[in-house]
Amino acid sequence: MPRLSEFAFEPGLVAAVDQHAAAVRDALVPAPRRPEPDPARRHAPRREDLTDYVLGFTDVLTENDWREPVGHDYATLRLTAVCWLVREYDLLGR
């Protein structure tokens, strides 16, 4: 979540994270999904699916001995996107 605070200073980061969030959401939310009463939540990933996704993703990072860089690589963008999805759809509050 600390990387989300960088949004205010790096507009390019917002665009990159938005693309990663869309890719994760597209991979996890089948279309068409059962009608959702709240249109804002229609494209929300399920917490369980996002959890499985991030566990698999971090397993691969661990296997490859990945270390968080100072800048933004594919993995930091993808993990930041997951954090954004968690916050955006209040997946910890449900």
Per residue in 28-69, pLDDT (tens digit) is 987 665 555 565 666 789 999 999 999 999 999 999 999 988
Residue-level pLDDT at 50: 95
3-state secondary structure of 57: helix
Residue-level pLDDT at 32: 61
Angle at the Cα of 64 from the Cα atoms of 61 and 66, rounded to 5 degrees: 60
Residue 84 pLDDT greater than 60, yes or no: yes
Residue-level pLDDT at 71: 83
Of the candidates 19, 81, 88, 86, the residue with the CA atom closest to the CA atom of residue 49: 86
Residue 86 pLDDT greater than 90, yes or no: yes
Residue-level pLDDT at 38: 60
The dihedral region occupied by 65, where left means phi > 0, alpha psi between -120 and 50, and beta the remainder, is: left
CA distances from 62 to 57, 58, 73, 83 (A): 9, 6, 15, 19
Rounded-to-integer distance, Cα 54 and Cα 83, Å: 10
Q: What is the mean pLDDT of the chain?
A: 85
